[in-house]
């Protein structure tokens, strides 16, 4: 769906995006993680033809961007750096304007289209209040409704849950999951680890403009070849395992061993009691920590 | 997209506030003139003002002379300055562009909305000032209109009401073209900055500078090329016969400004990174 090659954007002397090779496949739930200022938004803007790349190529739905971006954009629903709306108009009036502004869709179906989109994002009951009076969460939902108007096969969402409360975040996640099951490819960027971890199947990590990691979430979180063992008799367990224990934290041991089941059988056979046993997995946080160097909004003294 | 821009124009309260303010100025002047009956001496004060006392039907022309030098260009500069920069600051510019609306289309739609606004504002001023003129000064017998002496320099020339309407139509067309020059300056600046206020301010700075240089003899060499030099040339429509020389030059200069600045606005907007 989306692929970029050596995509680079320079603003003066700062390099916002540096040689990114992004690969989003059809049906993916792709999460682009990275701290604020790591180049996520610039990358998203380049994908949508808002910002022009200094170097590199973008291909979306098989067409080069920005050269043929107008053919690609009707198939994309997007949210870029927060929602935008005319503050003096109602939410419905805003959607009408944005719907009428571009191609596609009969004028006759407009009210139905807008009604459906508002219902999906949980704003079916909005009245004639102007957007000025909306909360940040309501504006965010309105922005999502605008992105959903055309039922696009590809959604590019920059920080989609910004300003929502935990229940709202969950609702949006469920909505996006439902869309994804219906065949929509979802590409979202966020600086919130749990959000990506809960929703995405594929993860990219940005660090100071570079795409430091890009892989399946399952692969990133694959077992490390070590097993965590909880036991009330750690000393006996250490004696039994003889040198294979790599770490000890109170009653929790980290053991180098390929298979938790075999290890469990071995320990029980030796008469060691076990309270818990599970394979060790890297947390996404650990992955990000390993991939990123420093917080990009940190300004060190020279 | 053009329909969307027009909907945005006419759904904004400020459109009517600005038009209302434009109408209020000639009305206020008319009230003072009608109550005191003190006309400005011929050749001074606003054009046509001394003539309207004897014929209220000429008041629309006087009203044009009142709003044109400052009020109308200021409102056009404010709206045109807001055209792109305002969309950028509400965050709607990026959503329009990814909708997708082509950048050229967006600029053209903005320009058409601006022309519509100028026509709307002028129409509002003409209608209200015509009614004001008739109500406060009365009309001459409707068979003939005497052109005022301070404008024609030949007193007593009369034209038919139909002739008056034609001349007013010419005036409106000329003023629209003049305002397009203003709009193109502000629109160009609006594609450069994200501040609507900055773009409007920049356009006004150009106009004020031009107005000052027009009166300065030392700047006589560049005078014919200043954007405001021929702004009041529409008064020549009320001479008999109509004096076309300045009208043609004025319209020509405005068209050149329009083409050059719109071209610059277009070139800038097409290649600009939209980071708002």
Tell me what ipTM this predicted complex has. 0.85
Kindly determine whether residue B102 and residue A51, on different chains, have CB atoms separated by under 8 Å: no
Q: Distance between CA atoms of B112 and B109, rounded to whole angstroms?
A: 5
Q: At residue A285, does pLDDT exceed 60?
A: yes
Longest dimension (CA), chain B: 62
Assess A168–B contact: CB distance below 8 Å, yes or no. no
Which letter, b or e, does each residue of A35-53 get, where b requires 16 or more Cβ atoms within 10 Å of its Cβ? bebbbbbbbbbbbbbbbeb
The Cα–Cα gap between A146 and A96 comes to 9
Beta A245-249 vs B145-146: how paired, if at all?
unpaired
* Alpha carbon A175 to chain centroid, angstroms: 14
- Alpha-carbon distance of B246 to B255, in angstroms, equals 14
B90 touches chain A (CB under 8 A): yes
Q: Which of A82, A85, A102 sits opposite B100 (nearest CB)?
A: A102
Which residues of A fall within a CB distance of 8 Å from B275?
A: 45, 50-51
SS3 content of chain B, % helix, strand, coil (to 5): 75, 0, 25
Q: Mutation target for A interface from B92, B99, B267, B269: give the one with most A CBs within 10 A.
A: B99
Quote the pLDDT of residue A296.
58
pTM for the model stands at: 0.86
| Partners of A10 in the β-ladder | A15
Verify whether the Cβ–Cβ distance A101 to B101 is below 8 Å.
Answer: yes
**CA A301 remoteness from chain centre:** 32
**Are residues A100 and B4, on separate chains, in Cβ contact within 8 Å?**
yes
Asked whether the beta carbons of B22 and B119 are under 8 A apart, the reply is no
- Residue of A82, A88, A98 with shortest CB distance to B99: A98
CA angle A263, A265, A271 (to 5 degrees): 105
Q: Which spans in B138-195 are helix H?
A: 149-152, 161-192
Contacts of A80 in chain B (CB under 8 A): 94-95, 98
- What are the pLDDT tens digits along chain B (276 aa)? 888 999 999 999 999 999 999 999 999 988 888 888 787 766 555 667 777 777 777 888 888 888 888 899 999 999 999 999 999 999 999 999 999 999 999 999 999 999 999 999 999 999 999 899 888 887 665 555 666 655 544 445 677 778 878 888 898 999 999 999 999 999 999 999 999 999 999 999 999 999 999 989 898 899 888 888 888 888 888 877 788 888 999 999 999 999 999 999 999 999 999 988
Is B14 touching A (CB cutoff 8 A)?
no
Residues of A in contact with B97 (CB under 8 A): 48-50
Which of A 116-155 lie inside 8 A of B, CB atoms? Answer: 146
pLDDT of the residue at B149? 53
Distances (CA, A) of B216 to A268, B40, B43, B133, B204: 103, 25, 20, 35, 19
Q: Say how many CA atoms lie within 13 Å of A147 toward its Cβ.
A: 32
């Amino acid at each position: 769906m989306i692929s970029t090659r050596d995509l680079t954007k320079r603003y003066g002397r700062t390099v916002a995006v540096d040689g990114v090779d992004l690969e989003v496949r059809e049906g993916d739930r792709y999460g682009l993680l990275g701290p604020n200022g790591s180049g996520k938004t610039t990358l998203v803007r380049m994908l949508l033809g808002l910002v022009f790349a200094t170097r590199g190529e973008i291909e979306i739905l098989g067409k080069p961007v920005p050269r043929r971006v107008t053919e690609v954009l009707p198939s994309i629903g997007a949210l870029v750096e927060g929602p935008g709306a005319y503050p003096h108009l109602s939410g419905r009036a805003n959607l009408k304007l944005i719907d009428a502004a571009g191609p596609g869709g009969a004028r006759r179906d407009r009210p139905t289209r807008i009604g459906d989109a508002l219902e999906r994002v949980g704003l079916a009951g909005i009245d004639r209040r102007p957007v000025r009076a909306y909360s940040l969460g309501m504006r965010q939902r309105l922005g999502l409704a605008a992105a959903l108007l055309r039922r696009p096969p590809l959604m590019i969402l920059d920080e989609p849950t910004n300003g929502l409360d935990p229940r709202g975040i969950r609702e949006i996640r469920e909505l996006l999951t439902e869309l994804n099951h219906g065949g929509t490819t979802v590409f979202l960027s966020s600086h919130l680890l749990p959000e990506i971890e809960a929703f995405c199947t594929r993860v990219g990590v940005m660090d100071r403009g570079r795409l430091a990691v890009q892989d399946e979430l399952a692969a990133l979180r694959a077992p490390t070849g070590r097993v965590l063992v909880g036991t009330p008799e750690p000393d006996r367990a250490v004696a039994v395992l003889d040198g294979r224990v790599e770490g000890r934290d109170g009653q929790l041991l980290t053991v180098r061993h390929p298979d938790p089941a075999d290890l469990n059988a071995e320990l029980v056979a030796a008469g060691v009691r076990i309270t818990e046993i599970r394979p060790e997995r890297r947390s996404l946080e650990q992955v990000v920590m390993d991939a990123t160097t420093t917080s990009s909004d940190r300004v060190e003294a020279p | 997209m053009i329909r969307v821009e027009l909907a945005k124009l006419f759904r904004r309260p400020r459109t009517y506030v600005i038009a209302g303010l434009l109408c209020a100025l000639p009305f206020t002047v008319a009230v003072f003139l009608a109550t005191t009956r003190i006309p400005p001496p011929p050749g001074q004060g606003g054009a046509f003002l001394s003539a309207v006392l004897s014929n209220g039907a000429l008041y629309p022309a006087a009203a044009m002379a009142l709003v044109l030098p400052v009020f109308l260009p200021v409102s056009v500069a404010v709206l045109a300055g807001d055209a792109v920069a305002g969309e950028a600051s509400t965050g709607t510019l990026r959503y329009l562009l990814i909708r997708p609306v082509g950048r050229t289309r967006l600029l053209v739609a903005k320009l058409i909305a601006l022309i519509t606004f100028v026509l709307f504002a002028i129409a509002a001023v003409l209608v209200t000032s015509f009614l004001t003129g008739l109500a406060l000064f009365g009309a001459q017998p409707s068979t003939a209109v005497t052109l005022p002496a301070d404008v024609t320099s030949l007193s007593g020339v009369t034209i038919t009401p139909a002739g008056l309407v034609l001349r007013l139509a010419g005036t409106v067309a000329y003023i629209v073209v003049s305002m397009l020059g203003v709009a193109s300056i502000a629109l160009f600046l609006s594609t450069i900055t994200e501040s609507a206020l900055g773009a409007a301010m920049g356009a006004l700075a150009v106009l004020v500078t031009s107005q000052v240089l027009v009166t300065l003899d030392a700047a006589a060499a560049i005078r014919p090329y200043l954007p405001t030099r021929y702004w009041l040339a529409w008064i020549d429509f009320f001479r008999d016969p109509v004096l076309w020389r300045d009208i043609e030059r004025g319209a020509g200069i405005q068209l050149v400004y329009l083409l050059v600045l719109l071209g610059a606005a277009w070139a800038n907007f097409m290649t600009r990174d939209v980071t708002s």
